[in-house]
Amino acid sequence: MAEPQRLQKLLAQQGLASRRQVEAWIMAGRIRVNGAVVTELGYKADPEQDHIEVDGQRIKFSRDPVRHVLLLHKPVGVLSTCADPWGRKTVLDLLPEPWHSQIRLYPVGRLDADSSGALLLSDDGDLTLKLTHPRYHLPKTYRVQVQGQPSQTTLQHWRDGVDLEGYTTLPAEVERCPAPDFFKRSNPEGSWLRVVLFEGRNRQIRRVAERLGHPVLALHREAIGPLRLGNLKPGQFRQLEPHWIQALLAPFPQR
């Protein structure tokens, strides 16, 4: 008999959703164990002995679930979500079979619709939780075009940290750089910057640039930790081999 574990951990390990999503399912009464609805977040179950259902469908547990992680080049205009109530295109719509429907992938973090670049997709809830946790300072590298010509004082302010509604951002790396080769229509009134962040707050680059008086004109994420897009074109992806997944999970220095 296996040792009982919390439902959110069991279901996340099977790639059904992130732990937070499973917790929402529990609170909504969507999960039953041995026929009884479970609403306690700390509830533990044994996948070998207990009958676990989500929305009335029994979950079959694998002893050694396969971890799938994809690196996708997200195009502008595509949403970093699994489904959209208004029918807009999502990152899952870019994937062919069996990735599109037979494997339950979901985005690891986000890129807003107006941004492009590197985005991870995975069916591993534990991996997603670790890579998106605020304490896990996974560096992400961006090419950003901002309006106008930021001064060195402004760039240093960005590097040191900027106040966003009472929170000061962590130190960042910010340098001027050339436009990416794939940007055919670069705005002549803008400046290109390479920005490396060690945290992932919502729309952070856009908010900081706006606060500093240089709104973002274009934003492209070219790397997540050690992973670079390489020759992946917009809409293309590649499956990560185990050694790349381990490289992602390697500890990064605290900032």
Q: Kindly state whether residues 159 and 214 are assigned to the same domain.
A: yes
- Write down the residue that tokens 């059904």 correspond to: 16
Q: Kindly state whether residues 125 and 150 are assigned to the same domain.
A: no
Query: pLDDT, tens digit, for every residue of 11-51?
Result: 877 666 677 878 889 999 999 999 999 999 889 988 888 89
Question: Does residue 64 have a pLDDT over 60?
Answer: no
Residue 31 · residue 14 · CB < 8 Å: no
**C-alpha closest to that of 7 among 59, 57, 63:** 59
**C-alpha closest to that of 236 among 112, 109, 94:** 94
Query: pLDDT, tens digit, for every residue of 160-203?
Result: 999 998 889 999 999 999 887 777 666 677 899 999 999 878 89
Q: Kindly state whether residues 41 and 82 are assigned to the same domain.
A: no
User: Which residue of the set 46, 112, 124, 163 is catalytic?
Assistant: 112
Query: pLDDT, tens digit, for every residue of 79-119?
Result: 998 888 898 999 999 988 777 666 778 898 889 999 999 99
Domain count, the chain: 3
- Please state, as a whole number, how many other Cβ atoms lie within 10 Å of the Cβ of residue 192: 20
> Which pLDDT does position 251 carry in this prediction?
61
> Which pLDDT does position 2 carry in this prediction?
62
Range of the domain at 244: 69-134+228-249
User: Of 31, 58, 85, which marks where a domain is finished?
Assistant: 58
Q: Kindly state whether residues 238 and 130 are assigned to the same domain.
A: yes
**For the domain that residue 122 is a member of, what is the CATH number?**
3.30.70.580
- Give the separation between CA 76 and CA 156, rounded to whole angstroms: 29
Peptide bond into 47 cis (omega under 30): no
**For the domain that residue 24 is a member of, what is the CATH number?**
3.10.290.10
User: Of 58, 79, 98, which marks where a domain is finished?
Assistant: 58
Q: Kindly state whether residues 119 and 153 are assigned to the same domain.
A: no
Determine, yes or no, domain membership for 64.
no
User: Model-level pTM?
Assistant: 0.73
Question: Does residue 235 have a pLDDT over 70?
Answer: yes
Q: Kindly state whether residues 96 and 220 are assigned to the same domain.
A: no
Q: Kindly state whether residues 107 and 219 are assigned to the same domain.
A: no
Q: Is 112 annotated in the active site?
A: yes
The b/e string for 55-93 (b: 16+ C-beta within 10 A; e otherwise) is: eeeeeebeeeeeebbbbbbbbeebbbebeeeeeeebbbe
Q: Retrieve residue 154's tokens.
A: 């402004």
- Give the separation between CA 8 and CA 242, rounded to whole angstroms: 24
Determine, yes or no, domain membership for 107.
yes
